[in-house]
């Protein structure tokens, strides 16, 4: 079994030399419909060995990829989720060149502790109260206060991020929403802090939009969370709660490039892959998407004019 991302092309870098710090989180605690997310990280890592190291532009792996040991996901959600935050903090804390966390899930609940860890680290380094926004690609809003009784459900994770952590949020590709979530969104729209914005699938998919408006005052650094059910099930049927009408492949790539151009991606996750035995196309699609995002980030860091973006946490402040 492959233990590190793109093993074979690139030996696992030491964390001191890697731009990307991959954290596998084989967590499956509260999934509500189809199961299997515990095997998501290993399948993405296995599929990554089939990637071309040249992504069509250059070789993002040359920036260095370190793959950490998987987070221990045994125990209750209350026990597991803090370990995710600790793993992200250890990625950010122990290395003076600030590796960029890439969290591979696992169910979506793991995003909240990961966002908290990145936010706290950025607060410490920038002194800003709100140093980070979240951009979420997802079929579901995940804004329920609790689901099946649990506030730690994957269906409540963005409520934790927006309401509990107070982090500004942009949702992209949502097409399955409860009345409660609609009400929460509309109430949040009337508040300015923290901002909550959305570009639902019905608005962007039929018109093939690959750019969204990010308000000028949205934080300059973002945590990108990619719930794979945001993609159309033709690309990724391997997820617990697939919903038709999702983002297309090239639309997704263009959208991600647009985000990478507009903001500094400080960390990202790819969550909710629930592998289907015998069907490896989705595993490969997500390994490729992960590598494409790495490429966009690596290039934005080295682009002329990116200035302080060379290093994720020491850039200039402002949009
Ligand atoms: Mn989700």
Residues near 179 by beta carbon (within 8 Å), at least 6 away in sequence: none
C-alpha to C-alpha distance for 298 and 278, rounded to whole angstroms: 33
Residue 308 alpha carbon to ligand 1 centre in Å = 32
Rounded Cα distance, 139 and 175, in Å: 5
CA of 96 to the centre of ligand 1 (A): 32
Q: 272 alpha carbon to ligand 1 midpoint, in Å? A: 7
CB 51 within 8 A of CB 287: yes
Neighbours of ion ligand 1 (CB under 5 A): 108, 138, 140, 142, 227
For the whole prediction, is pTM greater than 0.75?
yes
Determine the distance separating the centroid of ligand 1 and the alpha carbon of 136, expressed in angstroms: 8
Backbone φ, ψ for residue 40 (5° rounding): -60, -55
Tell me how far the alpha carbon of residue 241 lies from the centroid of ligand 1, in angstroms: 9
> DSSP E strands: which ranges in the chain?
20-25, 65-67, 100-105, 133-137, 169-172, 196-199, 221-227, 264-271
Alpha-carbon distance 56 to 310, whole Å?
Answer: 22
> What is d(CA 209, CA 201) in angstroms, rounded to the nearest whole number?
10
Rounded to the nearest angstrom, the distance between the alpha carbon of 11 and the centre of ligand 1 is 32
End-to-end CA, the chain? 42
Q: What is the pLDDT of residue 36?
A: 92
Q: How many CB atoms lie within 10 A of CB 30?
A: 19
Instruction: For residue 111, report the distance from its CA to the centre of ligand 1, in Å.
Output: 9
Query: How remote is the CA of residue 13 from the centroid of ligand 1, in Å?
Result: 30
All structural domains of the chain with their residue ranges: 20-302
- Tell me the CA–centroid distance for residue 53 and ligand 1, in Å: 29
Distance of alpha carbon 259 from alpha carbon 296, whole angstroms: 9
108 Cα–ligand 1 center, Å: 5
Classify domain 20-302 by CATH number.
3.40.800.10
Phi, psi of 13 (to 5 degrees): -75, 155
Sequential pLDDT tens for the chain (319 residues):
678 999 988 888 888 889 999 999 999 987 666 679 999 999 999 999 999 999 999 999 999 999 999 999 999 999 999 999 999 999 997 666 779 999 999 999 999 999 999 999 999 999 999 999 999 999 999 999 999 999 999 999 999 999 999 999 999 999 999 999 999 999 999 887 899 999 999 999 999 999 999 999 999 999 999 999 999 999 999 999 999 999 999 999 999 999 999 999 999 999 999 999 999 999 999 999 999 999 999 999 887 655 444 444 333 333 3
């Amino acid at each position: 079994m492959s233990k590190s991302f793109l093993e074979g092309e690139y030996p696992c870098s030491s964390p001191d030399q890697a731009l990307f710090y991959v954290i596998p989180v084989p967590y499956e605690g509260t999934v509500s419909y189809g199961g299997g997310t515990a095997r998501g990280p290993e399948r993405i890592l296995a599929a990554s060995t089939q990637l071309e190291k040249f992504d069509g532009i250059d070789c993002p792996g040359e920036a260095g990829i370190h793959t950490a040991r998987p987070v221990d996901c045994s125990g209750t959600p209350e026990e597991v989720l803090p370990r995710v935050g600790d793993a992200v903090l250890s990625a950010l804390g122990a290395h003076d060149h600030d590796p960029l966390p890439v969290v591979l899930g696992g169910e979506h609940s793991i995003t909240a502790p990961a966002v908290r860890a990145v936010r706290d680290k950025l607060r410490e380094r920038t002194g800003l109260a709100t140093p980070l926004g979240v951009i979420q690609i997802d079929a579901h809003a995940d804004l329920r206060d609790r689901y099946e009784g649990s506030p730690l459900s994957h269906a409540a994770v963005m409520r934790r991020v927006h309401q509990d952590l107070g982090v500004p949020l942009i949702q992209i590709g949502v097409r399955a929403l409860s009345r409660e979530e609609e009400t929460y969104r509309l109430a949040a729209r009337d508040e300015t802090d923290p901002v909550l914005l959305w570009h639902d699938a019905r608005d962007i998919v039929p018109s093939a939009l690959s750019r969204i408006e990010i308000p000028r005052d949205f934080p300059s650094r973002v945590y990108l969370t990619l719930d794979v059910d945001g993609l159309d099930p033709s690309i990724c049927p391997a997820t617990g709660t697939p919903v038709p009408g999702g983002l297309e492949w090239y639309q997704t790539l263009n959208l991600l490039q647009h985000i990478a151009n507009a903001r500094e991606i400080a960390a990202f996750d790819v969550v909710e892959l629930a592998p289907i035995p015998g069907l490896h196309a989705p595993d490969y699609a997500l390994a490729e998407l992960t590598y494409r995002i790495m490429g966009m980030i690596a290039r934005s860091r080295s682009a002329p004019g990116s200035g302080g973006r060379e290093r994720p946490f020491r850039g200039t402040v402002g949009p």
